[in-house]
Chains A and B, each alone.
Chain A
Amino acid sequence: MYSVAERVASRQCAWRDLGRVDYARAFEMQRELVELRKRGESPDQFLIVEHPHTITLGRNGHLANLLAHEDVLARAGVEFHHTDRGGDITYHGPGQIVGYPILDLREWKRDVGAYVRAIEQVIIDALADFGMAGERVPPMTGVWVAGAKIAAIGVHISRWVTSHGFALNVTTDLSYFQYIVPCGLVKPVTSMAALGVKARREDVVERLLEHFGRVFDREMTGELIYD
């Protein structure tokens, strides 16, 4: 099959693990990075963060999938944000690796379907390094292990520049998912820890970066052009 990636010399993608960042701040950072990327003033970037307890609702989300009133969430210390990614509702919180690739897809493939499948592949390959069998459950988006969703994906694209991304549950406290119907699905969620895999966050990040670089044919560099 014809693939643009085969023809393009390996490009750079700057990454940085920012640790705990609140959702609004990460959203703002992405916005700025997207603008830089659109103007060609930065290379592709890959932000990795962890959010405090947050529930976000995508543009096409249904508030009905939020099972608790916003007041209840506030009392439980959970932030609630409407956001502009695809997908329905999801939860972010400690123990979850959130990846935000800011890529110009014109330099990869102009194909949002292929992009989402590639993100899934990165996660599936990283899980495999921990002996876990991640899989796709078409026609849905995300990664499942043993019938439970372990990683969610939601993306925004503006002039082929991506933002938002994925959230992989490593040691996430799954009880917080009780407040939502994840992505509008009545399906169980899981985490690496819940499936008995004891992995450190930095090790998982390292595996994700390795596979991200390979799948997107990018040389991952640690210098992020962002202050």
Chain B
Amino acid sequence: MTDVVMPQMGESIVEGTLTKWLKKPGDHVERDEPLFEISTDKVDTEIPSPAAGTLREVLVEEGKTVGINTVVARIEDGAGNGAVAPAKPAVAAPPPAAPTPAAPPPQAPAAPSPPAVAAAPEPAEPSGPLSPLVRKMARENHIDLGRVKGTGAGGRITKQDVEAYLAASQAPVAAPAPPRTVPAPVVAPPQPSTYVPPAASSPAKVRVEPMSTMRQKIAEHMVMSKRTSAHVTTIHRADMTKVAKMRERHKADFQSRYGMSLTYLPFVVRAAVEALRAYPIVNASIEGTNILYHNEINIGIAVALENGLIVPVIRNADERNVLGLQRAIVDLASRARSRQLKPDEVQGGTFSITNFGSFGSLVGTPIINQPQVAIMGVGAVTKEPVIIDDAIAIRSMCYLSLTFDHRLIDGALADQFTAKAKSVLENWSEEVL
């Protein structure tokens, strides 16, 4: 089998999007025949097959973005020399995939000779891209780049890394770098600095399961967002009594007429739209040092899935009334759950709303859906005793949270925006039916 990898298309390029497979599994390919197309930085590139044979497995689907050197497919060689992958560490170990502790089932935990651990970190080639300079330095100094730790973007090895490595290895003892083919010594005192997850030593106490692609994407996006924006959350309390009454009055009729229930969410979306119109900067995004004001109001609605989350977008939400919004929400949510959303329908959002109230939460501090600059969280609507004109009244109340990017939006504006949405809800006047 020959592994086909995402090629390195340039020094500054650490990943590529696989846009199109030109062959299907089972197809025969010639060496150098175009096999797939990738897209990086406004450049589409046809990638030729590295070997002749049969395309056995396609590991990365169209539309996915993966780091360079990621294996995207496997080709079974025509000559029938399958099985052994070329240029792989000689150690007959499980392929260096994710560190799934493929520990032979229930090993006696008393005999700590961790099997997978010794073999796993044996990279033949570092995973990041390599600049010609780094390759040259490695060649000239006979450095195995697999041993050099990359500190550049995406873990790439920089000139400084190679210099640091050289300096370190030429320093005191001639011992040319730590022995890699660790024979046995790894026992009790584990590597000093690196945190060793307990997985390997106590297999009974954890169950290891690889994250789904969606989970990985969510994880990446959330951390990226936190790293990108200066998150601040402000919370306003809205009196939803008018909306609640309106909803109460039309619920049954709405259900029988349109076959869906009328929820609070379309009212909140409507209110958010009004506020976005009044404060367009909340409907913007940041690009370098420019502010992009979006002329469309496209609202992402967070939809909880069985094992994840997706944010389909109601395009031109400002052109819809409550009925239209409710219909869009029901449609997008149901298709999100049956995984039938088109890629277009999860892109292009300019603001997002997350309705954690439907799970009983009163207040939340959502994370911004990049590259947007704000997200509104809607808490549960509950009946509360409220003081109005020094009298106690029972009102339907709800907390609206607005997480905003303080790089672009200051607190005063965020509060004006939220107050506007609150005011639309509290003074609801639009007919629903």
User: Is B172 at the interface (CB under 8 A from chain A)?
Assistant: no
Q: CB-nearest residue of chain B relative to A184?
A: B348
Binary contact readout A81-99 vs B (1 if CB under 8 angstroms, 0 otherwise):
0001111000000000000
Contact A114 B11, beta carbon cutoff 8 Å:
yes
Binary contact readout A1-17 vs B (1 if CB under 8 angstroms, 0 otherwise):
11010000000000000
User: Is A207 at the interface (CB under 8 A from chain B)?
Assistant: no
Contact A112 B136, beta carbon cutoff 8 Å:
no
Q: How far is the CA of A9 from the CA of B44 in the complex (A)?
A: 28
Which DSSP category, helix, strand, loop or mixed, fits chain B's interface?
mixed
Binary contact readout B19-52 vs A (1 if CB under 8 angstroms, 0 otherwise):
1100000000000101001011111111010000
Q: CB-nearest residue of chain A relative to B45?
A: A157
Instruction: Chain A residues near B39: list those with CB within 8 A.
Output: 59-60, 86
**Chain A nearest CB, measured from B155 CB (Å):** 17
User: Is B13 at the interface (CB under 8 A from chain A)?
Assistant: yes
User: Is B420 at the interface (CB under 8 A from chain A)?
Assistant: no
Instruction: Chain A residues near B133: list those with CB within 8 A.
Output: 1-2
Contact A157 B294, beta carbon cutoff 8 Å:
no
Instruction: Chain B residues near A111: list those with CB within 8 A.
Output: 9-13
Within 8 A of B (CB), among A111-146: 111-116, 137-138, 140-142
Query: Which of B10, B13, B42 contacts A141, CB < 8 Å?
Result: B42
**Chain B nearest CB, measured from A30 CB (Å):** 13
Instruction: Chain B residues near A140: list those with CB within 8 A.
Output: 287
Query: Which of B19, B315, B347 contacts A59, CB < 8 Å?
Result: B19
User: Is B295 at the interface (CB under 8 A from chain A)?
Assistant: yes
Contact B41 A156, beta carbon cutoff 8 Å:
no
User: Is A147 at the interface (CB under 8 A from chain B)?
Assistant: yes
**Chain A nearest CB, measured from B9 CB (Å):** 5
Q: CB-nearest residue of chain B relative to A155?
A: B43
User: Is A186 at the interface (CB under 8 A from chain B)?
Assistant: yes
Q: How far is the CA of A158 from the CA of B36 in the complex (A)?
A: 11
Within 8 A of B (CB), among A29-43: none
Q: How far is the CA of A35 from the CA of B168 in the complex (A)?
A: 49
Contact A59 B37, beta carbon cutoff 8 Å:
yes
**Chain A nearest CB, measured from B137 CB (Å):** 10
Contact A156 B10, beta carbon cutoff 8 Å:
no
Instruction: Chain B residues near A18: list those with CB within 8 A.
Output: none
Contact A113 B9, beta carbon cutoff 8 Å:
yes
Binary contact readout A131-175 vs B (1 if CB under 8 angstroms, 0 otherwise):
000000110111000010000011111110000000000000000
Q: CB-nearest residue of chain A relative to B20?
A: A59
Query: Which of A60, A109, A112, A187 contacts B45, CB < 8 Å?
Result: A112
Contact A187 B44, beta carbon cutoff 8 Å:
no
Which DSSP category, helix, strand, loop or mixed, fits chain A's interface?
loop
Contact B10 A114, beta carbon cutoff 8 Å:
yes
**Chain B nearest CB, measured from A181 CB (Å):** 9
Contact A60 B17, beta carbon cutoff 8 Å:
yes
Instruction: Chain B residues near A115: list those with CB within 8 A.
Output: 10, 43
Q: How far is the CA of A2 from the CA of B136 in the complex (A)?
A: 10
**Chain B nearest CB, measured from A145 CB (Å):** 13
**Chain B nearest CB, measured from A142 CB (Å):** 8
User: Is A110 at the interface (CB under 8 A from chain B)?
Assistant: yes
Contact B348 A58, beta carbon cutoff 8 Å:
no
User: Is B213 at the interface (CB under 8 A from chain A)?
Assistant: no
**Contacts A59-B19, A140-B287 hold; do A114 and B136 have CB atoms under 8 A apart?**
no
Binary contact readout B31-75 vs A (1 if CB under 8 angstroms, 0 otherwise):
010100101111111101000000000000000000000000000
Contact A86 B43, beta carbon cutoff 8 Å:
yes
Contact B19 A60, beta carbon cutoff 8 Å:
yes
Contact B12 A114, beta carbon cutoff 8 Å:
yes
Contact A112 B10, beta carbon cutoff 8 Å:
yes
Instruction: Chain B residues near A157: list those with CB within 8 A.
Output: 43-46
Q: How far is the CA of A86 from the CA of B19 in the complex (A)?
A: 10
Instruction: Chain A residues near B132: list those with CB within 8 A.
Output: 2, 4
Q: CB-nearest residue of chain B relative to A109?
A: B10
Instruction: Chain A residues near B42: list those with CB within 8 A.
Output: 86-87, 116, 141-142, 153-155
User: Is A64 at the interface (CB under 8 A from chain B)?
Assistant: yes
Q: How far is the CA of A163 from the CA of B41 in the complex (A)?
A: 15
**Chain B nearest CB, measured from A112 CB (Å):** 4
Q: CB-nearest residue of chain B relative to A164?
A: B44
Q: CB-nearest residue of chain A relative to B37?
A: A59
Contact A113 B40, beta carbon cutoff 8 Å:
yes
**Contacts A59-B19, A111-B9, A114-B11 hold; do A141 and B41 have CB atoms under 8 A apart?**
yes
Instruction: Chain B residues near A84: list those with CB within 8 A.
Output: 44
A-B contact pairs, 5 of them (CB 8 A): A59-B37, A60-B17, A64-B344, A111-B9, A116-B42
Q: 4 closest Cβ contacts across the A-B interface? A: A111-B10, A113-B10, A141-B42, A86-B44
Known: A62-B347, A157-B46, A158-B46. 8 other contacts (CB 8 A): A111-B10, A113-B11, A116-B43, A153-B42, A157-B45, A158-B45, A185-B292, A187-B292
